[in-house]
Amino acid sequence: MSDDRVLIICTSVHHQNTFKIAEALAEELNAKIIKPSEFRGEDLDSYDLIGFGSGIYNGKHHPSLLSLASDLDTQTNKKAFIFSTSTILAKSMHRALKDNLQAKGYQIIGEFCCRGFMNHRFTKYILGGLNKNRPNADDLEEAKQFARKMIEKS
Ligand SMILES: Cc1cc2nc3c(=O)[nH]c(=O)nc-3n(C[C@H](O)[C@H](O)[C@H](O)COP(=O)(O)O)c2cc1C
């Protein structure tokens, strides 16, 4: 893919776990990373592929990403991918974001999820938190492999 044709919109509020994945993806895709608050609708015309990612909070992506997706202008088959980090791996937690994007005409060409460190509430009493040191180097390599698949598919 030519340079500067991929945009990644990512928010990562708990431990910057998802941001680490966004950086690995961006490195492979020559992508620009922005936060939902930095998004301007007209940006999208300049990009062939858009990645949407955040941590999972109470079974869904971050509310700022979900609301950005529901406010998007309708597109004709714009290609997109979804990514997340979470305690438990389950692509079903991508459902809300996926539904919002598909309702706006986005074609979801891939989904990536990865374990992320979690020490919210009671989990901090379980050996200081769950999924320590995740994402790790192997996770970042998997993210890069996923990015290469996205290049092939787009
Ligand atoms: C308030 C809160 C709610 C969470 N809810 C879930 C959840 O429903 N399912 C899950 O697997 N992980 C859950 N997690 C864990 C996060 O998804 C995980 O730590 C993620 O890596 C955080 O990403 P971030 O550092 O990019 O914000 C939750 C974490 C917090 C702080």
Largest Cα–Cα separation, the chain: 48
**Residues 107/135, Cβ–Cβ less than 8 Å:** no
pLDDT of 42 reads 74
Cβ(135) to ligand 1 under 6 A? no
Residues whose CB falls within 8 Å of the CB of residue 124, separated by 6 or more in sequence, listed in order: none
Mean pLDDT, the chain, whole residue set: 93
Q: Whose CA is nearest to atom 4 of ligand 1?
A: 57
Which candidate, 110, 33, 41, 51, places its Cα nearest to that of 72?
41
Q: Residue 110 is part of which domain span?
A: 6-153
Question: C-alpha distances in angstroms, 150 versus 54, 56, 76, 132?
Answer: 18, 22, 19, 28
> Ligand 1: does its nearest atom lie under 6 Å from the Cβ of 11?
no
Residue 137 falls inside a structural domain: yes
Model confidence pLDDT, tens digit, residues 44-78: 888 999 999 999 999 999 999 999 999 999 998 89
Number of domains in the chain: 1
Residue 66 resides in a domain: yes
Does position 29 have pLDDT exceeding 70, yes or no?
yes
**CATH number, position 53:** 3.40.50.360
Q: Is the pLDDT of residue 2 over 60?
A: no
Task: Answer yes or no: is 1 within a domain.
Answer: no
Asked, for residue 43, whether it belongs to a domain, the answer is yes
